[in-house]
Amino acid sequence: MVCAIVAVVGGGRAAADPGAHVTGEAPLGGRAAQIDVYSPAMGRVIQNKVIKAAGAGAPTLYLLTGAGGGADGISWWDNTDVRHFFADKFVNVVMPVGGAFTLYTDWISDDPAVGRVRWETYLTQELPGVIDGLLGTNGRNAIAGVSMSAASALDLAIQGGPRFSAVAALSGCPWAADPTGIAMASAQAVRGGGNPGNMWGVPGGPAWREHDVFANAGRLAGKAIFLAAATGAPGAADRGLPMPPLETIAGACTAAFAGRLAQLGIPAVHVHRPTGSHTWGQFESDLHEAWPHLAAAIS
């Protein structure tokens, strides 16, 4: 599950990929709906849980879940109060379903176990254009991830250039293309049965360096950045099965990345909680605290 204030860079409205399109929509109660979108890059339809803003002209928050990708019934949608929390907020919240153990990146080769993985293309090029056109957004976006997807959110904010004006990484472990980072990122692919070599090629090679968030942290300049993690000690916010070792690691990783940003002179909000043990109760509290910082950058 292991894996993120400030001037703003305009994202601008992006045209949808000609082949990316809505294939179906089903109501989920209130302003929520499941919106299915065909991804040309992956050659399949992706489900997205969407909380629509009350009218056109709203920004969009892309909210990524943990290692299981939400298809396992463990997600922001299933385990937190996102529907209630965002009900009175002028923002579209888009929660893709899928991407288990993929790091939400583009794999350089198709994999026998996980198939064709092009989540970076989907999240930075295909889906935003579809959402902009369907919901009449203001073209400004934020992205947030938790646990496995916390580092992915940072990577996507880097790779997407002006696509995302704000990013939040919650209880994750930003990676570097060093032995520790390679082992950590590879472990996620292996957990899903995939071959890490099909993800970014030879360990430490060009693709790994391209996705090294420490080496490329300077490309986050001008974005709103929110980082949060805890010590692993169980606390009042915890809900569900506590996983102290994971959160202790996430806390150390997150602090290291906050230090990297400080070294570069890039402003960021860094919350290091004295208690919290990698549970959805903790993640929910962190999202609540992150939201005002993200909102200020995209509204």
The pLDDT value recorded for residue 9 is 34
User: What is the value of pTM for the model shown?
Assistant: 0.93
Predicted confidence (pLDDT) at residue 6 exceeds the cutoff of 50: no
Whole-angstrom distance, CA of residue 219 vs CA of residue 175:
15
pLDDT tens readout for residues 267-293: 999 999 999 999 999 999 999 999 999
**Average pLDDT, stretch 124-135?**
98
Q: Which CATH architecture has domain 21-298?
A: 3-Layer(aba) Sandwich (3.40)
pLDDT at 3: 38
| Res. 53 pLDDT band, cuts 50 70 90 | very high
* Percent of the chain whose pLDDT exceeds 90: 93
The residue among 240 and 36 whose pLDDT is bigger is 36
Mean residue pLDDT of the chain comes to 94
CB proximity list for 73: less than 8 A, separation 6 or greater: none
Amino acid 4: pLDDT: 33
Q: How many other CB atoms are found less than 10 A from the CB of residue 87?
A: 13
Number of Cα atoms under 13 Å in the Cβ half of residue 228: 25
- Inter-axis angle of helices 148-159 and 244-264, to 10 degrees? 20
Q: Report pLDDT digits (tens) over 204-253.
A: 999 999 999 999 999 999 999 999 999 999 999 999 899 999 999 999 99
Sorted by where each begins, the domain ranges of the chain are 21-298
Position 162 scores a pLDDT of: 97
In this prediction, residue 5 carries a pLDDT of 27
Is 2 a residue whose pLDDT tops 70? no
CA separation for the pair 178, 55 (Å, rounded): 46
**The residue type at 215:** A
Selected residue with higher pLDDT from 13 and 35: 35
